[in-house]
Structure 1
Amino acid sequence: MNFFHPRKGRCSMEEMIAEIQSYIGQDKKAEYKVVIGTDSQTRERETLFVTAIIIQRIGKGAIFFYMKKSHRAMRDLRYRIYRETEYSLQCVELLKKNGFFDFSVNIPMEIHLDVGQQGETRKLIQEVVGWVTSVGYTAKIKPESYAASAVADRFTK
């Protein structure tokens, strides 16, 4: 699985986790938050999904990584939003499996969903928020879901 750092480029899971550990180690007294969100963009032949992993040093900046997956074009909005949610949750599991939370157990985590009260996605809010909260995570929707609607979105273009 390849991750990308906006300045350093491609990196492995191990390199990403080491980079995050180093970032947290630079200011151990700061408060941190892990934020994960996925956005997608459908083109003629494919749908590109981008999942962003943000480590926010509350009030003092953040670092982030992202990964991309591509599928044949998905035209159904509900299916795409479900897939975005699934990819965000899979990312959490992948991080867990690779020891990410061994060093960051007390860091709160949010899943950012690319749904909001405006537009067609409003019909899906209850479903995807319910899914995320039922597996034990905090869910955020637009306008608070910046990991999906701003960071991941930037890399789907």
Structure 2
Amino acid sequence: MSFISPSKGKMNFEEMMDDILAYIKGLPCSSYKIVVGTDSQVRRETCFVTAVIVHRKGKGARFYYRKNTQRKIKSLRQKIFYETSMSLELGAKITNLLALGGVEDTNVEIHIDVGHQGETKELIREVVGMVTGSGFEAKIKPDSFAASSVADRYTK
């Protein structure tokens, strides 16, 4: 699993987690939230981008992203469920390593690229249920900035 940090370049998952833990432990009195969101763009293939944002509340944030290309997915439903499952899988791995790193109280949110406007409104209940059933807090548009803004920027 290869990630890109805009400020530090290419890194693997373990290096990203080391960087996240160092960031959190660098100012332990602050409050933190980690946000994971995935977006995709369909052309000849489907390009998925998953963003990981570490928000130091009131004091900025860092982010990382990974790109993954799959065969062309024409079904919007299938694409949204795949995006959500990618975010959930990464969120679970991050949660496990946060616990091992001694910061298990850090909140992890999953941002889903669905909203009450447009075609995705029919999928909200199902994907939010999928996320909350996995033990994470779910955010949808307009509050799902990890998916609809950060990840979206790198799918193009």
Question: The TM-score by the shorter chain falls in which range?
Answer: over 0.9
Q: Deviations over 1:104-135 (max 9, x none)?
A: 20011110000001000001000100111111
Distance 2:99 2:42 in 1: 33
Instruction: After TM superposition, list the pairs within 5 Å mapping 1:38-49 onto structure 2.
Output: 38-43=38-43, 45-49=44-48
Q: Deviations over 1:35-68 (max 9, x none)?
A: 000000001x200001111110011100011111
What is the identity, as a one-letter code, of the residue corresponding to 1:94? K
Instruction: After TM superposition, list the pairs within 5 Å mapping 1:52-91 onto structure 2.
Output: 52-91=51-90
Deviation at 1:95, TM superposition (A): 2.6
Q: How many residues align?
A: 155
Give the corresponding residue for 1:101: 99
What is the identity, as a one-letter code, of the residue corresponding to 2:143? E
Q: Do residues 133 (structure 1) and 142 (structure 2) align?
A: no
Structure 1 residue ranges, 4+ long, deviating more than 3 angstroms after superposition? none
Give the corresponding residue for 1:19: 19
Distance 1:101 1:42 in 2: 36
Contact 2:95–2:108 (CA<8 Å) still a contact in 1? Answer: no
Partner-residue secondary structure (3-state), 2:113: coil
Give the corresponding residue for 1:4: 4
Q: Do residues 148 (structure 1) and 125 (structure 2) align?
A: no
Contact 2:34–2:106 (CA<8 Å) still a contact in 1? Answer: yes
Q: Deviations over 1:60-95 (max 9, x none)?
A: 100011111111111110000000001001112333
Structure 2 unaligned residues grouped into runs of 5+: none
Deviation at 1:24, TM superposition (A): 1.0
Distance 1:31 1:57 in 2: 6
Deviation at 1:140, TM superposition (A): 0.3
Q: Output the aligned Cα RMSD.
A: 1.1
Distance 2:135 2:128 in 1: 11
Deviation at 1:13, TM superposition (A): 1.4
Q: When the two structures are superposed, what TM-score results if normalisation uses the length of structure 1? A: 0.94
Deviation at 1:96, TM superposition (A): 4.3
Distance 2:121 2:99 in 1: 32
